[in-house]
Amino acid sequence: MALDQTVEDQMKSTRTLTDRVSTYVPVYRGYRTKNLRRDEDRAIREEVVRTLEGAKADLATVQRAALGNPDLMRDLERIRSKTDRYTMGIKKAINGYGGVWASMKVEEQELSQVVEWDARLVEEAATIRKEASELVEYIDSGGLDLKKPLREFERSVDAMMENFSERNKVIKGLAGTEDVPE
């Protein structure tokens, strides 16, 4: 089962009786469905942020181990800054179908596209978290040469940031505007 489907099922299971009944009222159904999608989107992004916060904590551990090596410290600080910028971007991301878009007719398929992008973000954040944990394990096992593992980690962060930019492009397509902040 796809991750976005799992999130949708979980969101459905926590709905109140009123919420479930309201999805059958014709005039209210579309409005309520879009709001539920927005809630799913927010829940997914909150999970991504929690995962990335864990990766940042692991990077802090790696940084402490690199004390005394200015080049390595500089690399680690750059990577932590990238990870932090990405985390803040996720935290402040636009839902893409609430607020300013509420008056637009947005198709359910387009809403599903945004949730699919967000589900990919969860998978990528889990990969970043795993790689950060592996860096800590590497240091704990006595590994000293961090250049190669850090380059690989930074590539993963860069790829995740690129995919997040793609998500924003999907949202821009939904909005039909170019002034959506990144």
User: What would the two tokens of residue 21 be?
Assistant: 């009944």
Q: What is the pTM of this model?
A: 0.68
Q: Can you say whether the dihedral through the CA atoms of 64, 59, 72, 137 is positive or negative? A: positive
Only one residue has tokens 């990870």, namely 83
| pLDDT by 10-residue block (mean), the chain, 182 residues | 53 57 54 68 85 93 88 91 90 60 53 74 92 91 84 92 81 54 44
Closest CA to 117 of 48, 56, 31, 15: 48
User: What would the two tokens of residue 10 be?
Assistant: 């979980």
For the chain, which residues make up each domain, given as ranges?
Answer: 3-97+105-175
Q: What's residue 116's pLDDT?
A: 77
Q: What's residue 14's pLDDT?
A: 59
Q: What's residue 120's pLDDT?
A: 85
